[in-house]
Amino acid sequence: MPLTVAVQMDPLESINIAGDSTFALMLSAQARGHQLFHYTADALNYADGRVWAKAHPVTVERNAAQHFAFGDPVNLDLGDEADVVLMRQDPPFDLGYITATHLLERIAHKTLVVNDPASVRNAPEKVFVLDFAQFMPPTLVTRSLEEAKAFLHEHGEIVVKPIHGNGGKAVFKVDHAGTNLSALIEVFNMTWREPHMLQAFLPGVASGDKRIVLVDGEVAGAINRIPGEGEFRSNLAVGGSAAKTELTAKEREICAALGPELKKRGLLFVGIDVIGGEWLTEINVTSPTGIVAIERLDGIDVAAMIWDAIEAKVSAHA
């Protein structure tokens, strides 16, 4: 059954089609005969119980010179005229992001929103993961320099990162001397009002940071992200490279623990990050990536798995 799919994402002209997971999802949807519309989050509107967006009908193709074509914009009623909304804009997870989830939550009883907007709002990547602290490295959430110094003294080397950051941005390693820790906490406190996340540094990151993708609570595939030369961060967005991998027994245990909760919350497309085969660091629910690299390395069509799950959910509620 053809579906009307509204994709809430960043401007299409700004994406890198070679590795963009949202673009891969759009290609897969189009191949199945679904009608695609594109809009950015700032195009959302609400009045009289309705949520709509100024959206463009769009076709996509894997052509670097011209990867999309827009039709004339329309006011698309997301509750009555769309079957599916893909909420895929990149963080920052700020008040704008949160407000978008509040608006989309108002049509979620009629239109399938992926991922569920209330669950996205309540499960930011570095906060939701605290529910599974038994799998995490030693972790501190704080704005206090005194607490940060004590944490460094206890663990020798640590990583400091913004609690609502993404893509490996503004992630710092602090060695045992802690020479710049005071200045770093000062800058973080000036830049962000919320507390920050500190974790014991895991030397195993040199061998990679595994991205495992789960679809409706089940493992779909994984890649190992290797840091670039002179880097400890392995995110592809900051120069990491993707390599083929297999899951360890501990990673399968982590996925088995997470899966039922993800499914219950309507978090259909999720990417988790695991270091050293055993340490869970993030649960990415806002706009997870990695499916293009998984297909390239393992031949697993994760986009098709996602659409199979979406189509099943839409049919079940028809």
Contact 267, 115 (CB under 8 A): yes
Q: Strand 112-114 and strand 84-87: pairing?
A: parallel
End-to-end Cα, the chain, rounded Å: 11
Q: Where are the alpha helices (DSSP H) in 175-282?
A: 181-191, 249-264
Contact 236, 293 (CB under 8 A): yes
Q: Which of 88, 115, 121, 161 is catalytic?
A: 161
- Would residue 313 show up in a list of annotated catalytic residues for this protein? no
Q: Strand 4-8 and strand 84-87: pairing?
A: parallel
- Would residue 250 show up in a list of annotated catalytic residues for this protein? no
Q: Which of 88, 121, 126, 210 is catalytic?
A: 126
- Would residue 231 show up in a list of annotated catalytic residues for this protein? no
DSSP characters over 285-308 = -SS---HHHHHHHH---HHHHHHH
Measured on CA atoms in the order 234, 238, 244, 246, is the torsion positive or negative? positive
Q: Which of 20, 211, 265, 311 is catalytic?
A: 211
Contact 212, 271 (CB under 8 A): yes
Q: Which of 88, 121, 210, 233 is catalytic?
A: 233
- Would residue 225 show up in a list of annotated catalytic residues for this protein? yes
CA distances (Å), origin 114, targets 94, 247, 309:
19, 26, 11
Q: Is 102 helix (H, G, I), strand (E, B) or coil?
A: helix
- Would residue 233 show up in a list of annotated catalytic residues for this protein? yes
Q: Which of 20, 125, 209, 273 is catalytic?
A: 273
- Would residue 284 show up in a list of annotated catalytic residues for this protein? yes
Q: Which of 225, 235, 251, 311 is catalytic?
A: 225
Contact 302, 295 (CB under 8 A): yes
Active site residues: 126, 161, 211, 225, 233, 273, 282, 284
